[in-house]
Amino acid sequence: MALTNNKHVLDWVDEMIALTKPDQVVWIDGSEEQLDDLRRQAEETKEMIKLNQEKLPGCYLHRTAVNDVARVEHRTFICSRKEENAGPTNNWMDPKEAYDKLGKLFDGSMKGRTAYIIPYSMGPIGSPFSKAGVEITDSIYVVLNMAIMTRMGKEVFTALGDSNDFVRGLHSKAQLDEENRYICHFPEDNTIWSINSGYGGNVLLGKKCFALRIASYQGKQEGWMAEHMLILGLENPQGEVKYIAAAFPSACGKTNLAMLIPPEVYKKQGYKVWCVGDDIAWLRIGPDGRLWAVNPENGFFGVAPGTNEKSNPNALASTRQGTIFTNVVHNLDDNTVWWEGLDKNPPKNALNWKGEKWDPASGEKGAHPNSRFTAPAKNCPCISPKFDSSEGVPISAIVFGGRRAKTAPLVYQSRDWENGVFVGSIMASETTAAATGAVGVVRRDPMAMLPFCGYHMGDYWAHWIEMGKKLGDKAPKIFNVNWFRTDDEGHFIWPGFGDNMRVLDWIIKRCEGKADADETPIGFVPKAEDINLEGLDFSVEQLKDILSVDKELWKAETQGIEEFYGKFGDRLPQELRNQLNTLKAKLN
């Protein structure tokens, strides 16, 4: 039974069902009864393994196909009507060609299977920030993950009414054929087609596909922003909470920062950190003229390896109930899960991520390096009381970050919004060969959006600049952090983890006009005595060292920026070209 009378939804669903030819069609209403029934079916077919319900209530283990373990960027396309609108950083396919090519693959792809029709909302249902999506899939794994990652069920159709403003997502596992695996986005059609994958990032279409690639395009058209950012709230001892949105490329400690545990000296005084979101932020200008953010997601899709009691106790706690684990080790002794970096005692009687007998002494990894947990955000001990708020939270500061051995200081503040957009546009991380101290390749990842921007990056930066003009003096202040400065032996100097709170504290003080700073060619750097080092075995001299700005390194950096900007031709906003020229002048 269809759950809606919305003609746009029904016509599209009919068309997709006619194409994929499933044996039966099930509309997902979001009820616990229906989900339980699907869990039982998935257990029977061995698609999911029910784990120890005393130790891990409501938790399951899933294994993907061995050829299907990560996002496939070379198979991900932006199918804008004009090639130039996809830009130089995206793969483009002509929409006619894409519909034709994928249409042939989808034809009959669900024969002998059930098609599940999932109505879901990115963001709290009915919030002015939120957007509806409908995903048709032949995977129970997708349904159960979407139940954790989104607000799912028939209320979404109630909120949608008879509107045509919903994202159409079609997914089929088909044959899980690597050669014919495609994830195609049609920004002008509000449509996503994904075929021949069963892995989360390629098939949970609400996540990167909708909430970043399609939403970034919608945001440009409608005057808001979809960003690859965590959102956290910093509560001071007086009970005031200030919110920060922050963007980091992968492997830069984003999830750890989102769920940060304050150092003892701050805890004692009554400081708290609240997690609003760990991955994606949708930002709009509120009625008061400030920038407000919601986390469009309802869960965490986190990387398991390395998540432990020390690195991220809050993330670990989030996984203890109602979680789906993908491609981790199955401990047969007590029917629980394990992964590298969880603790020092790997299980003796276990199956690896492929389901084969595994011996930890073999030297082979038991869990896949990109193995995952899908956990309800509500499980997180520090989840923000504003997590479900329809109006979102007001953003005081935007923070960009990367992994640089020598170039970027621990923290600096941009001179203004436009300069901040420049700072975000030149974001980079580098691979370091620690032993030789050789600095590896610098990878530019502007605003951490390189793989996720649904249109031309030059136009994306222009949209940022435009948003700044609308915000005027109510715009958040923009900062850059680098937790990864190294000494000459390649060891990290700053302790990181919870101690990053000390830097966030300074950032908030700057936003409130309560801290001073020194001007450098790249922006404002803290006075060393303004960063609270109490309770930390770290000298002011060490701090001064990682706050220093080396002009020679930055001169070399401007050459790299020049080269990167060259990719964007005349779509590069003149404002960014001016910013680069100003930086060069200041360095000289």
Angle between helices 32-44 and 140-149 (to 10 degrees): 140
279 is in an annotated binding site: yes
Percent helix / strand / coil, the chain, rounded to 5: 35, 25, 40
319 marked as part of a ligand binding site: no
Q: And the tokens for 65?
A: 């196909």
Cα separations in angstroms, 19 against 110, 136, 143: 9, 12, 20
- Its sign, for the CA torsion 455, 459, 460, 466, is negative
Residue 81, annotated ligand binder? no
User: What is the rounded end-to-end Cα distance, in angstroms, of the chain?
Assistant: 70
* Residue 370 counted as an annotated binding residue: yes
Residue 200 is labelled as binding a ligand: yes
Q: Is 497 annotated as a binding residue?
A: yes
Exposed e or buried b per residue across 101-131, where buried means at least 16 C-beta atoms within 10 angstroms of its C-beta: bbeebbeebbeebbbbbbbbbbbbbebebbb
- Whether residue 255 is annotated as binding a ligand: the answer is yes
138 annotated to a ligand binding site: no
Residue 49, beta-bridge partner list: 61
320 is annotated as contributing to ligand binding: no
User: Does the annotation list 208 as a binding residue?
Assistant: yes
Cα separation of 177 and 196, whole Å?
5
Q: Which of 282, 511, 276 is nearest to 411 (CA)?
A: 511
User: How far is Cα 351 from Cα 332, in angstroms, rounded to an integer?
Assistant: 7
Active site residues per annotation: 252
Q: What are phi and psi of 274, to 5 degrees?
A: -115, 130
- Sort strands 350-351 and 357-358 into parallel, antiparallel or unpaired: antiparallel
List the beta bridge partners of residue 195. Answer: 172, 182
Tell me if 403 is assigned to a ligand binding site.
Answer: yes
Whether residue 120 is annotated as binding a ligand: the answer is no
- 99 vs 104: CA distance, rounded Å: 8
Three-state SS at 227:
strand
Residue type, 263: P
DSSP classification of residue 353: T
Contacts of 387 (CB under 8 A, 6+ apart): 276, 295, 377, 378
Strand 438-444 relative to strand 428-433: parallel, antiparallel, unpaired?
A: antiparallel
In 310-449, where do the E strands start and end?
324-326, 329-331, 336-338, 350-351, 357-358, 372-376, 393-401, 411-413, 428-433, 438-444
Tell me the sheet residues that pair with 192: 169, 185
Known binding residue 371? Answer is yes
DSSP state of 363: S
For the CA atoms of the chain, what is the radius of gyration?
24
Residue 180, token pair as written in the block: 């014919």
254 known member of a binding site: yes
CB contact burial 6-37 (16+ within 10 A = b; e otherwise): bebbeebbeebeebbebeebbbbbbeeebbee
Is 514 part of any known ligand binding site? no
Residue 201, annotated as binding a ligand: yes
Known binding positions: 71, 199-201, 208, 228, 250-256, 279, 370-372, 403, 497-500
Known binding positions for substrate: 71, 199-201, 250, 370-372
Known binding positions for GTP: 251-256, 372, 403, 497-500
Known binding positions for Mn(2+): 208, 228, 279
